[in-house]
Each structure stands twice: as C-alpha cells, then as structure tokens.
C-alpha cells in the first residue's frame, strides 16, 4: 500500500498552542506538550511545529522545543525565527529532524544551502506562504504573511530547490483555518515547477480534501492544523487524527486508483 | 551500556530517547575510551556519504570501529547513512565506506519511479521483513524512510528486509554482528521501538 504522509501543523505562541484563521486572530488552545503526547499515541506520521511569534520576538525557545519533542517518536519539523546555521544545529541537537525556513528563504537564502550542506537536504523544509496581491497574482509572503516578496510561489520554490531545500510546504494564506479544502491550482503551479516533495497546507477540513491535493495538485504529503485540533468547524478543541483504516479506505486507496 | 557514536551527523538525541523508551540507557560519545567500554554500538547518521566518512576519519574512528566490529565482534547497528557506511562504496560522493558488508550504495533510479514518486523517498513505508530476530513481534511493520540512495547487496542472504519506492530495494542488511537499516527506528513509533528492543535482546557470538 502506497502511503501519503498526513501531517498535523501546530502553531505555538506565548508558550501555548494556538490556532489562527488566514494567519490572524490567534486563539489559545492549550499546552502543546499534551497535544504532542496525544498525536504520539495516535501514531501520527509526522509533526510540524511553528512558533508564529519567534521571528517578531527574535528568539527561539530551545528548551521549550526540547520539552515538546522529547516524547515524540515520529519525525518533527520546527519553524519560527530561524536565521542562522548555529540555530539550526541547536534545534537538531534538541531532538528535531527538520527545520522550517520561511522569512529567511527570502531575506537570507544562503542559509538554505549552508544547512543543506551541513545536515543534508532532507533536514530543510522551505515553507512558502502564498497570498494574492491586488492584481490577483499569487506571491510568496514572509514575516507571518505581513510582507509580500516579489516572487511567485513557484519562483521561490524553484530557487530554494536549487539552493538545496529538501521539501516545500506550501500554505494558502486565505484558506488557512477555513475548512474549505486545499487550493489545488496553487499547489499544481508549484508541484509542476520542482522535483522535490511538496506538502499541501491550508484549508483541509476532512479526509476527502486530501485526495485532490495529491491527484490534481501533485502534493507528496498533506498537512492541516484546524482539522486535527478542533472537533469540527466552529466547535471546541479536540486533538484528533484519522486511524489507519480510515486513511487507507478514504485516502490512500482512492489516490492509488 | 549502548554507545551512540557521535561523529557530528544525525539526530542522536532522538535515538537516545527511543532507546530509553525501549528500556535501556545509552551514551552519546565520540571518545574511543568511552565507546570501547560499550557492549553495543549504534552508528547513526544523516547526510552526505563522503562527508560522513570524512568525519569518521577526522575523529580517528575508522580503525577503532574496524577493531570493534570485526575483531571484538561487538553488535553494531547502522541507521540510515550509518547503515550505508557499512558497505564498500557509495555513488554519493564516489566514496569508499567501512566495507564490512558486501554492498554498494546507489542512487534511486529515477527512470523506474512511477508518476508522482519523487526523490528523496520521504515516507512511512510498509516493509517486507524476513524471519529475522530483529523483526520479532512487529505486526504490519512500517517505518519512516528518508533517503535518496539505497543499498545494492552482492548476496541476497545479507538482506533482511525490503521496501518499495518505484521498485523493490533492500532496506535492511545483516552479517554476523553487524546490521544496518535504511529507515529510522528512532522515529518509527512502536515499530521502531520493538525493533530496537529486539536488537538489544539479540545474542551474538562474542570473541
């Protein structure tokens, strides 16, 4: 059976776990250590942790990251506030497999090649936050989607692949937290431009949403935030993750056809 | 005590955490005196093959490891790049390895991948395991893989498990006291935990 990774994305802020909608209005959910423990028990494929405050604060909470990941026996990627190789090495030393680079991919792209040469491409995920500008063109954004770069998501992805990125996580900013499904055209524009795996993110509300991301969007993995931390749209917090049987019948088998 | 060989590559803390979960303590070290006292050794590693061999040489660990693995016959488990290093040669950086297992490391043949399959192979993958003590008690084994190169063994008898990415490839090897797995048991939930537990319990002929 061909498996496609299903990855919860947890947002961190103020030493807690939060959830946003279209990158705004962070809503406090609880303790990420507990959440990670539950995802571990549910044998989650992989986790992405993003500290949405770290770039603004100019500080990475290394000890806290170590506490969060020490009981997680799955691959973990961490992003937020990363601007130097030394920080990456420190993050890896704390028990994290991959670093997620967003703002630095535009402001200091050499960081990608420096980390890839030192630790391998598989350790470098470039996260591209895509938003439309006034002329409806997709642009890659940085600094928590507060600043638009001059690159289209595909242009930035190609440049990062050339520098040695091992994976791209592509987020549709308008779809984030919307439960309305992935933006398949946006995904397709990036997956057709690069050879490395692309993780779809932004908009997933149900397992059925994963299918077009892979078949039409060309994604190699799917990620979601709200879907795995809320019981349902508009409802309360409930850490959840589909079991193997659900993933097999409603996702992997459908994609394989 | 289990020794995790620190030569500057890979996420050693994760291996130590998983070993603790599997019920044993491990020391992370590059000090030959410390490692010489260990009853078992793990050769981890993530990254470039040539860079890995260079770091082992730089820390003067190659002759030491030869002695531990081949003469003292200490049980040794290679993980990911650490497993590839057990072979003769890799296409990655056209570099010679430790040469303990008659195999080479070769790049994924991209022509043989299906549409949508990419390199690196980065995925949880169902693994077909032979009746080997390393896999005892693991039902429906799946492990986390991330690699662009894979083993190519001279002798099928050295292969203990296989996985498929585009085509079937050897993902685990064993010869006497030396074993290697391409995947990451330390990041593979209960499957990896049981594998490490099995490895800790395995008996080998010692000298």
Among A42, A40, A118, A56, residue whose Cα is nearest residue A85 = A118
Interface pTM, i.e. ipTM: 0.92
Are B187 and A43 within 8 A, CB to CB? Answer: no
Mean residue pLDDT of chain B comes to 95
CA distances to A42, A56, A176, A248, B98 from A226, rounded to whole Å, are 17, 23, 8, 21, 48
Q: Is B80 an active-site residue?
A: yes
* B120 preceded by a cis bond (ω within 30 of 0): yes
What is the CB neighbour count within 10 angstroms for residue B115? Answer: 5
CA distances to A114, A131, A193, B147, B194 from A161, rounded to whole Å, are 13, 20, 10, 16, 36
Cβ–Cβ below 8 Å for B126 and A45? no
Are A31 and A17 within 8 A, CB to CB? Answer: yes
Cβ–Cβ below 8 Å for A70 and B17? yes
Q: Is the pLDDT of residue B60 over 80?
A: yes
Among B38, B132, B45, B32, residue whose Cα is nearest residue B85 = B45
Q: Is the pLDDT of residue B207 over 60?
A: no
Question: pLDDT per residue over A9-33, tens digit each?
Answer: 999 998 899 999 999 989 999 999 9
Q: Is the pLDDT of residue B128 over 70?
A: yes
pLDDT value of position B54? 95
Two tokens, residue A79: 């992003």
Q: Which A residues 189-248 touch B at CB under 8 Å?
A: 195-197, 214, 218, 220-221
Q: Is the pLDDT of residue B107 over 90?
A: yes
Tell me which chain B residues have a C-beta less than 8 angstroms from the C-beta of A3: 123-126, 142
Chain B residue closest to A120 (CA)? B47
pLDDT value of position B206? 56
pLDDT value of position A125? 97
pLDDT value of position A30? 93
pLDDT value of position B124? 97
Lowest mean pLDDT among A214-218, B29-33, B202-206: B202-206
Q: Is B162 an active-site residue?
A: no
pLDDT value of position A232? 87
Q: In this structure, are strands A98-101 and A76-79 parallel, antiparallel, or unpaired?
A: parallel
Q: Give the domains, in start order, of chain B with CATH numbers.
A: 2-201 (3.40.50.880)
> Which residue out of B38, B80, B129, B161 is catalytically annotated?
B80
Residue at token pair 């987020």: A171
Among A9, A5, A59, residue whose Cα is nearest residue A177 = A9
Cβ–Cβ below 8 Å for B146 and A214? no
pLDDT value of position B20? 94
Q: Is the pLDDT of residue B168 over 90?
A: yes
Q: Which of A40, A75, A120 has its CB closest to that of B47?
A: A120
> Which residue out of A45, A51, A110, A129 is catalytically annotated?
A129
Domain membership of residue A26 as a residue range: 5-256
Burial of B182 by CB count in 10 Å (0-12 exposed, 13-18 middle, 19+ buried)?
Answer: buried
Number of domains in chain A: 1
pLDDT value of position B83? 98
Lowest mean pLDDT among A249-253, B31-35, B115-119: B115-119
Q: A181 by DSSP, 3-state: which? A: coil
Would you place residue B205 in the very low, low, confident or very high pLDDT band (cuts 50, 70, 90)?
low
pLDDT in tens, chain A (257 residues): 889 999 999 999 988 999 999 999 899 999 999 999 999 999 999 999 999 999 999 999 999 999 999 989 999 999 999 999 999 999 998 999 999 999 999 999 999 999 998 888 999 999 999 999 999 999 999 999 999 999 999 999 999 999 999 999 999 999 999 999 999 999 999 999 999 999 999 999 999 999 999 999 999 999 999 999 998 888 889 999 999 999 999 999 999 98
Q: Which of B116, B188, B189 has its CB closest to that of A218?
A: B116
Q: Any idea what the Cα angle at residue A39 is, between residues A172 and A69, rounded to 5°?
A: 90
Are B134 and B179 within 8 A, CB to CB? Answer: yes
Lowest mean pLDDT among A151-155, B45-49, B55-59, B172-176: B45-49
pLDDT value of position B85? 98
How much is the average pLDDT of B172-176?
97
Task: Kindly state the percentage of chain B with pLDDT values over 90.
Answer: 90
Are A158 and A193 within 8 A, CB to CB? Answer: yes
Lowest mean pLDDT among A171-180, B40-49, B190-199: B40-49
Q: What CATH code is carried by the domain that includes residue A122?
A: 3.20.20.70
Residue scoring higher pLDDT (A93 or B34): B34
Cβ–Cβ below 8 Å for B116 and A75? no
pLDDT value of position A2? 87
pLDDT value of position B137? 97
Would you place residue B46 in the very low, low, confident or very high pLDDT band (cuts 50, 70, 90)?
confident
Backbone angles phi, psi at A5, to 5 degrees: -65, 140
């Amino acid at each position: 059976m061909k498996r496609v990774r299903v990855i919860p994305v947890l947002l961190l802020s103020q030493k807690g776990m939060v959830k946003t909608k279209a990158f705004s209005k962070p809503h406090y959910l609880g303790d990420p250590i507990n959440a990670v423990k539950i995802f571990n028990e549910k044998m989650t494929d992989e986790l992405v942790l993003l500290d949405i405050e770290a770039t603004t604060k100019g500080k990475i909470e290394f000890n806290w990251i170590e506490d969060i990941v020490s009981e997680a026996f799955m691959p973990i990627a961490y992003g937020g506030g990363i601007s130097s190789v030394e920080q990456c090495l420190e993050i890896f030393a704390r028990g994290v497999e991959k670093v997620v680079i967003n703002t630095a991919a535009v402001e200091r792209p050499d960081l990608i090649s420096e980390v890839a040469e030192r630790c391998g491409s598989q350790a470098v995920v470039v996260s591209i936050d895509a938003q439309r500008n006034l002329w409806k063109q997709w642009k890659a954004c940085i600094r928590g989607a507060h600043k638009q770069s001059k690159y289209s998501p595909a242009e930035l992805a190609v440049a990062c692949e050339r520098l040695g990125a091992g994976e791209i996580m592509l987020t549709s900013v308008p779809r984030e937290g919307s439960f309305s499904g992935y933006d398949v055209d946006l995904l397709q524009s990036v997956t057709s431009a690069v050879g490395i795996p692309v993780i779809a993110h932004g908009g997933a509300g149900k397992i059925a949403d994963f299918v077009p991301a892979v078949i039409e969007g060309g994604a190699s993995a799917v990620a979601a935030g709200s879907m795995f931390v809320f019981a349902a749209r508009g409802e309360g917090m409930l850490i959840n993750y589909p079991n193997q049987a659900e993933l097999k019948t409603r996702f992997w088998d459908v994609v394989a056809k | 005590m289990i020794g995790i060989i620190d030569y500057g590559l890979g996420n050693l803390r994760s291996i130590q955490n998983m070993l603790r979960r599997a019920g044993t303590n491990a020391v992370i070290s590059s000090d030959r005196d410390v490692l010489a006292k260990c009853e078992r050794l793990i050769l981890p590693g993530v990254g470039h093959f040539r860079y890995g061999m260079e770091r082992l040489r730089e820390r003067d660990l190659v002759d030491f490891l030869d002695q531990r693995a081949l003469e003292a016959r200490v049980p040794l488990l290679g993980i990911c790049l650490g497993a590839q290093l057990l072979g003769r040669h890799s296409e990655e950086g056209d570099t010679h390895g430790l040469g303990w297992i008659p195999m080479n490391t070769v790049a994924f043949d991209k022509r043989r991948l299906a549409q949508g399959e990419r390199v690196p192979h980065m995925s949880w993958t169902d693994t077909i395991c032979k009746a080997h003590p390393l896999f005892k008690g693991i039902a429906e084994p799946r492990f986390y893989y991330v690699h662009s190169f894979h083993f190519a063994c001279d002798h099928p008898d050295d292969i203990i498990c296989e996985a498929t990415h585009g085509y079937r490839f050897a993902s685990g090897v064993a010869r006497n006291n030396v074993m290697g797995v391409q995947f990451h048991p330390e990041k593979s939930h209960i499957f990896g935990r049981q594998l490490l537990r099995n490895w800790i319990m395995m008996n080998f002929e010692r000298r």
